[in-house]
Chain A
């Protein structure tokens, strides 16, 4: 797979749909000019340009299936976020933005390997793209998903992930008869069984927690692929 992942240069994306699934999330669906089809797990860069030429750019994981005629991003609005704040508060349907992608060839799933995904909060976005591919190809048994969030509202695509059969662990509120807690090792066992690769996506703290959980469940560390965001001090 190395070297084979598709890559695209700078292009223009027009916002066709935009909605706010929750107060902190904005879902953007773009028509991308001369789009290069992506692999599930890849990302795009969004670049904003001010009248004086100042630019700001950030990377966002793709949520959509490559089969989708539009490119879907789900962006969490971060406190003081220059790009996420703009996408959340200012962007409108019809706006054209500079986009670059797809980018990345490591954190991708092509349906070839039985895998488990463990994602936290907005880290579920690339995993959603993977589940959409799995669903279209009828490969749901090859892609097991565990997602963790503080509350149902903090979990992007919560209902879709539940329908897919993801194990959902909420840490701050009960879900059905499951009492709020991070995932326990025994809850993970059925999802990890048979996996030859793991995808971990979330904040720095989450990625370290999830990696340890997977290693404790017996997955060799060199089968674990990590995508993390946020900072330590």
Chain B
């Protein structure tokens, strides 16, 4: 593509190896993106379930989730709206822990994450296993704020952040892929920031 006349660029990254193509470092800020009214979620009424193509459908209350072995992610996050945020710390439980309890069947290849709001997002199962995904309730040592999905959200930091469903309440294991909320509205089914898979039709 042609060079834009008069554009030199001023936000050149200090650590270009950490910034996927087309992203910029948002520094200490944390933009929020949401399509719905932010819910006021009562944790005592919330539960996390894993069902669909599993041997043993599971459901955990807020307190039961906290009794599971805790797990922390330290690293970067990337939003499709082009900001990246470095060195974040999220704490919760590994999705591996939840999946091990439920036992995905051999047919299970994809997952639909559901939020209390009705928001959904689809992911390949292998993007949620092997220490790559969490259900989290703490950011930088403090309870996750409502606007950022508090009290609890999915965290899949190696994919664009719309995959990290806010207010997550259910993981549904599926044999075939099916588009979630943004995916029905033109966004990519996988969303790898390093491959710049932003919209349907990207590689």
Partner of A51 from the list B3, B11, B82 (CB cut-off 8 Å) is B3
Q: Contact: A228 with B32, CB < 8 Å?
A: yes
Kindly state the separation between the CA atoms of A162 and B145 in the bound complex, as whole angstroms.
Answer: 37
Instruction: Indicate whether A233 sits within 8 Å of B28 (C-beta atoms), given known contacts A3-B179, A7-B200, A103-B186.
Output: yes
C-beta contact mask, A1-44 vs B, less than 8 Å → 1, else 0? Answer: 01101010110000000000000000000000000000000000
Q: Contact: B37 with A5, CB < 8 Å?
A: no
C-beta contact mask, B1-45 vs A, less than 8 Å → 1, else 0? Answer: 111111111111000000001101010111111111111000000
CB-contacts of B92-147 with A (<8 A): 117-118, 145, 147
Q: Contact: A49 with B2, CB < 8 Å?
A: yes
Q: Is B190 an interface residue (CB 8 A)?
A: no
Kindly state the separation between the CA atoms of A2 and B178 in the bound complex, as whole angstroms.
Answer: 13
Instruction: Indicate whether A82 sits within 8 Å of B9 (C-beta atoms), given known contacts A104-B185, A226-B37.
Output: yes
Partner of B35 from the list A96, A97, A103, A225 (CB cut-off 8 Å) is A225
Q: Contact: B185 with A2, CB < 8 Å?
A: yes
Q: Is B61 an interface residue (CB 8 A)?
A: no
Q: Contact: A221 with B185, CB < 8 Å?
A: no
Q: Contact: A106 with B35, CB < 8 Å?
A: yes
Q: Contact: A86 with B3, CB < 8 Å?
A: no
Q: Contact: A50 with B185, CB < 8 Å?
A: no
Q: Contact: B9 with A54, CB < 8 Å?
A: yes
Instruction: Indicate whether A221 sits within 8 Å of B199 (C-beta atoms), given known contacts A95-B5, A231-B30, A232-B145.
Output: no
Q: Contact: B186 with A5, CB < 8 Å?
A: yes
CB-contacts of B181-197 with A (<8 A): 181-182, 184-186
Q: Is A227 an interface residue (CB 8 A)?
A: yes
Partner of A82 from the list B1, B3, B11, B184 (CB cut-off 8 Å) is B11
C-beta contact mask, B53-85 vs A, less than 8 Å → 1, else 0? Answer: 000000000000000000000000000011000
For B5, list chain A residues within 8 Å (CB): 95
Q: Contact: A208 with B38, CB < 8 Å?
A: yes
Kindly state the separation between the CA atoms of A207 and B37 in the bound complex, as whole angstroms.
Answer: 8
Partner of A86 from the list B7, B39, B179 (CB cut-off 8 Å) is B7
Q: Contact: A222 with B36, CB < 8 Å?
A: yes
Q: Is A57 an interface residue (CB 8 A)?
A: yes
The interface size of chain A toward B, counting residues with CB under 8 Å, comes to 50
Kindly state the separation between the CA atoms of A233 and B27 in the bound complex, as whole angstroms.
Answer: 10
For B11, list chain A residues within 8 Å (CB): 56, 82
CB distance from A36 to the nearest CB of B (A): 11
Partner of A208 from the list B31, B147, B148, B179 (CB cut-off 8 Å) is B147
Q: Contact: B38 with A211, CB < 8 Å?
A: yes
Kindly state the separation between the CA atoms of A97 and B28 in the bound complex, as whole angstroms.
Answer: 30
Instruction: Indicate whether A227 sits within 8 Å of B29 (C-beta atoms), given known contacts A3-B184, A57-B22, A204-B147.
Output: no
Partner of A228 from the list B6, B12, B34, B200 (CB cut-off 8 Å) is B34
CB-contacts of A179-202 with B (<8 A): 200
For A59, list chain B residues within 8 Å (CB): 81-82
For B81, list chain A residues within 8 Å (CB): 58-59
For B35, list chain A residues within 8 Å (CB): 106-107, 225-227
Q: Contact: B22 with A55, CB < 8 Å?
A: yes
Q: Contact: B4 with A2, CB < 8 Å?
A: no
Q: Is A224 an interface residue (CB 8 A)?
A: yes
Q: Contact: A211 with B29, CB < 8 Å?
A: no
Q: Is A77 an interface residue (CB 8 A)?
A: no
Given contacts A5-B186, A105-B185, A232-B32, 18 further A-B contacts (CB under 8 A): A5-B185, A10-B1, A48-B4, A49-B1, A49-B7, A55-B21, A55-B22, A56-B9, A56-B24, A86-B7, A95-B6, A106-B181, A106-B185, A107-B35, A222-B118, A225-B36, A228-B32, A233-B29
A-B contact pairs, 7 of them (CB 8 A): A48-B4, A56-B22, A86-B6, A222-B118, A232-B30, A232-B32, A233-B30
> Hey, which bits of chain B sit against chain A, CB under 8 A?
1-12, 21-22, 24, 26, 28-39, 81-82, 117-118, 145, 147-148, 179, 181-182, 184-186, 199-201
4 A-B pairs with least C-beta separation:
A105-B185, A231-B31, A221-B37, A231-B29
